[in-house]
Amino acid sequence: MQLGRVTGTLVSSRKEPLMEGMKFLVVRQIDADGGDTASYVVAVDAVGAGIGEVVMYASGSSARQTQLTKDKPCDAVIMGIVDTWEVDGETVFVK
């Protein structure tokens, strides 16, 4: 999984019918120190994430393994909200 910060929202009214009712969030990928990178992804939200939260997202076919996204044309899903994250014995992030 990759880590990112939810930074925005996206509205798409004309879309593949299978995606009806899904919430699309803009997630900016963060580096190992918790800083923003230039990369982002639009992910379906399976856990009720809010703007500013640090999240884990799964990509590719694994993004279709939640109940919400099963058999949908979805290649990125937020599947966890991060509480704490430690690297090299130091706390990088606490919610």
Residues binding a second copy (CB under 8 A): 1-3, 7-16, 18-19, 24, 26, 28, 31-32, 38, 40-43, 46-48, 56, 58-66, 69, 71-77, 79-88, 92
Dist. CA 59–CA 52, nearest whole Å: 20
In this structure, the strands spanning 90-94 and 84-87 are: antiparallel
Contacts of 43 (CB under 8 A, 6+ apart): 4, 24, 25, 27, 57, 63, 76, 77, 78
- Least distance between a second copy and beta carbon 57 (Å): 9
- Least distance between a second copy and beta carbon 34 (Å): 11
- Least distance between a second copy and beta carbon 4 (Å): 11
